[in-house]
Amino acid sequence: MSARPYRNGRTRGGFFLALAMKNLARHRRRTVITAGAIAVGVAVFIWMFSILQGFEAENDRNMSRYETGDAAIMGSGYWDERDTFPLDMPVEDPEAILSLLEAEEIAAAPRIAFRGDLIVRYDPFPEDGSLQRAFYGIDIERDSRVFALSEAIEAGRFLEPGNEEVIIGRWLADQLGAEVGYPVTVTTRTRDGFYQIMDLEIVGIFNTSNPFINRHKAYLPIAVADEYLEMRGAVTAVYLSLPGMLPADADPGPVRELLSEFDGIEVLGFYRLNEDFAEVMEMENAGTAIILILLGIIAVVGISNTMLMSVLERENEIGMMRALGVRDGEIRWMFTFEAAGIGLIGAIVGLILGALLVWHAVAVGIDYGVLMEIEMDFRFDGVLYGVWHFTSMIAAAVFAVLIAGVVALVPTRRMLRRRITDSLRHS
């Protein structure tokens, strides 16, 4: 006789699917516990992913809004030397570049970045008498088109063009015991390397959502910086705000095209400007991956244990079914359906639970205030918010169902290797 004389997949498949679902109800407690483990895994995954995405988005936003813009034009080689704040590889003719960009309606803000020692006078102070900080000469009007600094003034006012004044962050002000109206002295070197001293007045204190800015940076009008540092019109960078929902979506290509005539400059995209974080983010992602793998293992161990028990306790039944001519493949499907059913219950509950957690993370956030006492390079402040990331939610649920189904194959395979007569004798 031929090997497979009968074919009617629907009737048969339907039968084994129905049987699998009935088998799910055999040990409700066990099914619920296993599905619960999967649900927790799915929910925690969804929640962590949401937080991580929120964290990255917030970090990116704070970088974009206060430090890097979406892209930047710098003198060739400047970026690699940025930690030393060199003044000798600037953008020499920013006005030409700015007028070209502005003709294309691209928001651009020039800045002069330099390092200096900040001394607050008339105030008790650390022995060495000064704090080294990064200073930025900013173009008051244009800066607000790219950066959000002017919206973050907490005391006093924002800078006004041409005045010999400075604004500093709340954290730094508290450290120095400084307030609005205090005079400060900044010592630095000019573009040509000569020592220079600036006397400035604190006119405003800002408090941004970027703690790095609040701690380490001070801002003054670009004309003042230009004059004291003898920049002769050059700037260290021109920052750009580009269209795109997220900073990371911004494409610097068109700007590169537009400025291809200019020598001695380069256009850096957001990824390049954030390369310091790529590594840290990777570590962060790796940490998350480890937790996810652990959760996955818990779910896999749970379901394989449950399915092993199901398969073993039904040995006699499996033997009977095989004697009746049920094919090995059909028995495999039956247990796969059953395990996938547990996975599906877990996935649905996990989705609901995960959605609630994400909703909380989006609406209320997680207070990292305590952590903020530790000096961190990440640009987020106090409360961390999640984001909705539906692809990861669906992926987690689908993954749970698939994994559960696949895991069931292991004990089933073991059982199908036994002889039918041995299984039948077992009771």
Q: Which residues of the chain form contacts with other proteins (CB under 8 A)?
A: 1-9, 11-12, 14-15, 19, 22-23, 25-26, 316-317, 320-328, 419-421, 424, 427
Least Å from the CB of residue 7 to other proteins:
6
**Closer residue to other proteins, CB minimum distance, 121 or 327:** 327
Least Å from the CB of residue 19 to other proteins:
7
Determine the 3-state secondary structure of 147 from DSSP. coil
Least Å from the CB of residue 305 to other proteins:
21
Q: Are strands 195-206 and 183-189 parallel, antiparallel or unpaired?
A: antiparallel
**Closer residue to other proteins, CB minimum distance, 80 or 422:** 422
DSSP secondary structure string, 99-144? HHHHHTT-EEEEEEEEEEEEEESSS---TT--EEEEEEEE-HHHHH
Q: Are strands 131-138 and 217-221 parallel, antiparallel or unpaired?
A: parallel
Determine the 3-state secondary structure of 384 from DSSP. strand
**Closer residue to other proteins, CB minimum distance, 150 or 306:** 306
180, 219 contact by CB (below 8 A): no
At 3, list the tokens.
């090997």
Least Å from the CB of residue 22 to other proteins:
4
Q: CA-to-CA distance for 326 and 10, rounded, in angstroms?
A: 15
Least Å from the CB of residue 12 to other proteins:
6
**Closer residue to other proteins, CB minimum distance, 251 or 328:** 328
**Backbone φ, ψ for residue 91 (5° rounding):** -85, 115
Least Å from the CB of residue 338 to other proteins:
11
Q: Which of 233, 210, 238 is nearest to 223 (CA)?
A: 233
Q: Are strands 71-75 and 265-269 parallel, antiparallel or unpaired?
A: antiparallel
**Closer residue to other proteins, CB minimum distance, 2 or 84:** 2
**Closer residue to other proteins, CB minimum distance, 1 or 103:** 1
**Closer residue to other proteins, CB minimum distance, 26 or 232:** 26
Q: CA-to-CA distance for 381 and 368, rounded, in angstroms?
A: 8
Q: CA-to-CA distance for 221 and 261, rounded, in angstroms?
A: 29
**Exposed/middle/buried for residue 104 (C-beta within 10 Å: 0-12, 13-18, 19+):** exposed
**Closer residue to other proteins, CB minimum distance, 321 or 397:** 321
What's 322's DSSP letter? H
Least Å from the CB of residue 328 to other proteins:
8
Q: How far is CA 58 from CA 62, 170, 282, 341, in A?
A: 6, 20, 16, 38
Least Å from the CB of residue 6 to other proteins:
4
Q: CA-to-CA distance for 171 and 180, rounded, in angstroms?
A: 14
Least Å from the CB of residue 401 to other proteins:
22
**Closer residue to other proteins, CB minimum distance, 1 or 245:** 1
- Taking the CA atoms of 393, 397, 402 and 403 in sequence, report the sign of the dihedral they define: positive
Least Å from the CB of residue 9 to other proteins:
8
H or E element at residue 51: helix 28-63
Instruction: Count the alpha carbons within 13 Å of 197 in the hemisphere toward its beta carbon.
Output: 5
**Closer residue to other proteins, CB minimum distance, 19 or 410:** 19
